[in-house]
Amino acid sequence: MKPSVKLIRKVVITNELGLHARAAAKIAKLAEGALAEVYIVKDGQEVDATDILDIIALYCPCGVEVAVRVADPADEKVLKDITRLIETGFGES
């Protein structure tokens, strides 16, 4: 029996500019590759990770914890990729 996949991961925004438009676009691009829905969650508010404006509207400055959630266990790679993107400051220095 295959172990169950954790469909949600918590991560802290490390980029000093926070989750801004360019970063939201990178998340949306990864989320578009998913088989099912992908969400970004902050303080109980959940938005579609493919919608750049919805992501920006969450207002996530540096230091804020968000969660990334996928609806389908087959999208575990997308979940890991988005989490890694956030953890590495969206590839910006």
What pTM was estimated for this model as a whole? Answer: 0.92
- Within-domain flag for 1: no
Total number of domains in the chain: 1
> Residue 28's closest CA among 91, 92, 85, 89?
85
- Within-domain flag for 82: yes
- Within-domain flag for 60: yes
- Within-domain flag for 3: no
Write down the pLDDT at residue 14.
Answer: 95
With a cut of 70, say whether residue 4 has pLDDT above it.
Answer: no
- Within-domain flag for 20: yes
Distance CA 78, CA 65 (A): 19
CATH code, 28: 3.30.1340.10
- By residue range, what is the domain housing residue 36? 8-91
Catalytic residues: 20
Per residue in 58-86, pLDDT tens?
999 999 999 999 999 999 999 999 999 99
Q: What are the start-end ranges of the E strands in 5-83? A: 8-12, 38-42, 45-48, 65-70
